């Protein structure tokens, strides 16, 4: 007879159901924004009733916060220049752009939720940005300034450099509808992301005078 049934192998473990809900929620929040998203829609996508969804997440607000957390956990590493492989500006900047573009490709809806949140003044996010993103940014700014001092690249404003990289990479997730329209495609393909990565890398390394 089974003895080790402590974790209770339900039909679907609670963790797994929560994961399914969170995935569906990310899609719906990306498409309609926080207010526009109906938990009913999320529930249906997951195969639940909305009352049942509220058993797993006690409120829409809590669910949204969880979606944001998941995205941010995934993002934070990639947002750090210092976390990249390599030790010279050239490979690290190239790696940084590549990592950011890969996230735009693999998690476009997470990016959209984040973008909408920032556009609307980051009401659910300001604290997180201050406590997690900003300290990391300061470290990265310091690194850029060291490179400049060591004459490894042109003297530029590090902050605006990061704003430019964030914008130019995230736009392939957030503005994909406009971009695919401009490129005459139903949706962006692998090669589009590769071309974009190549363009940005080339432009930046040359434009920054990276040696």
Q: Applying CB under 7 A, which residues contact DNA?
A: 10-14, 17, 37-40, 48-52, 54-56, 58-61
- For residues 127 to 166, the per-residue mask of contacts with a copy of itself, x marking binding by CB under 8 A and - elsewhere, is --xx--xx--x----------------x-xx-xxxxxx-x
- CA separation for the pair 147, 13 (Å, rounded): 50
Q: Degrees (nearest 5) of the Cα angle 106, 180, 43? A: 50
Binding flag, residue 211, a copy of itself (CB under 8 A): no
Complex with a copy of itself: residue 59 or 202, whichever CB lies closer: 202
The residues, ordered by sequence, that sit 6+ positions from 73 with a Cβ below 8 Å of its Cβ are none
- CA separation for the pair 20, 89 (Å, rounded): 40
- CA separation for the pair 149, 99 (Å, rounded): 26
3-state secondary structure of 21: helix
- CA separation for the pair 131, 2 (Å, rounded): 47
CB of 11 to DNA, least distance (A): 6
CB of 53 to DNA, least distance (A): 9
| Residue 91 near which of DNA, a copy of itself, none (CB within 5-8 Å, type-dependent) | none
Q: Interface with a copy of itself by CB under 8 A: which residues?
A: 30-36, 112, 115-116, 118-122, 126, 129-130, 133-134, 137, 154, 156-157, 159-164, 166-168, 170-172, 174-175, 177-179, 181-183, 195-196, 199-200, 202-204, 206-209
């Amino acid at each position: 007879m089974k003895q080790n049934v402590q974790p209770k192998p339900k039909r679907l473990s609670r963790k797994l159901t929560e994961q399914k809900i969170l995935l569906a929620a990310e899609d719906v929040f990306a498409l309609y924004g926080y207010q526009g998203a109906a938990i009913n829609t999320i529930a249906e996508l997951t195969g639940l009733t909305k009352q049942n969804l509220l058993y797993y997440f006690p409120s829409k607000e809590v669910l949204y916060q969880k979606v944001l957390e998941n995205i941010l956990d995934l993002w934070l590493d990639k947002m750090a220049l210092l976390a990249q492989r390599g030790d010279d500006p050239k490979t690290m900047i190239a790696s940084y752009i590549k990592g950011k573009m890969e996230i735009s490709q693999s998690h476009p809806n997470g990016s959209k939720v984040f973008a909408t949140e920032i556009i609307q003044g980051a009401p659910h996010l300001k604290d997180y940005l201050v406590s997690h993103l900003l300290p990391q940014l300061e470290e990265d700014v310091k690194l850029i300034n060291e490179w400049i001092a060591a004459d490894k690249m042109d003297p530029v404003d590090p902050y605006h450099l990061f704003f430019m990289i964030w914008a130019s990479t995230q736009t392939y997730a957030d503005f994909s509808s406009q971009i695919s329209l401009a490129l005459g495609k139903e949706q962006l393909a692998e090669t589009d992301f590769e071309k974009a990565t190549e363009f940005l890398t080339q432009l930046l390394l040359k434009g920054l005078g990276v040696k």
